Chains A and B, each alone.
Chain A
Amino acid sequence: MTVTIKYFGLIADITRLKEEVFSSDAELLNVEDLINNLSHKYSGLSKASYIIAVNKSIAKTNLKLNNNDVLALLPPFAGG
């Protein structure tokens, strides 16, 4: 399975990336599995505040991921 992950604001400061492609041999992966993986990769992520969007909709952590999904880690909004 391959998914794209986008990072914004403070989260992009932590990952030092705006976007990356994540591949896994696991057949069943949910949002939480992916976040656990990213939290190991990027120290600082577990302390940060963010919500997750999958294919431009806010998602819960138990949502199952599909091949080619686009995830985004969104820190607190600051529009206006």
Chain B
Amino acid sequence: MSTTKPAKKSFVQGAIGATFIGDSIAKHQSKTTIGAHNIFLGQVRGDVIDGKTVTAIEYSAYEEMAEQSFHEIRETAFAKYDLTCLHIYHSIGIVKTGEICLFVFVSAPKRKVVYEALNFLVEEIKEKVAIFGKELFEDETYTWKQNT
């Protein structure tokens, strides 16, 4: 598949902060063909598992393969939808309960496409990217998270 977009890196160390997200939005003000943005933010949930509460998730990944998967997902989305740009950021390392671990940002001239494209991207990321999550409990025990 040919591409005109440069290879990007999607992994971010630790939680994705509100400033980072705000700055990303601000950077698009110069792209005046855009008429609609849509954003997905994944947040770490404090699930209770067997009576113990999750305090954080420690994300790890097969990074070389995952970056390749992010690239393929991005290319598929550009081929499938009329998008001006799209960005995917996923945390690696520890993200505490309530913090943001996934930031997907799509922009297009018209609004309808951004809903569909965003949904497509999030589902693809959850299904196809080699990312692993260790759910950490208060007592320093852990369990491995699995997407359903």
Contact = CB atoms under 8 A, between A and B. Distances in A.
Given A9-B144, A10-B144, A77 B64 contact: no
A65 interface: no
B52 interface: no
A53 B133 CA distance: 19
Contacts of B132: 8-10, 75, 77-78
Tier of interface size on chain B: 20 to 34
Contacts of A9: 60, 132, 134, 144
Contact of B102 (A8, A72, A75, A80): A80
A72 B132 CA distance: 13
- For chain A, give the interface size range: 10 to 19
A8 B42 CA distance: 22
Given A9-B60, A74-B130, A80-B147, 11 more contacts: A8-B61, A8-B132, A9-B134, A10-B132, A10-B144, A72-B62, A76-B144, A77-B129, A77-B131, A77-B147, A78-B132
Interface of B: 42, 57, 59-62, 64-65, 68, 90, 101-102, 122, 125-134, 144-147
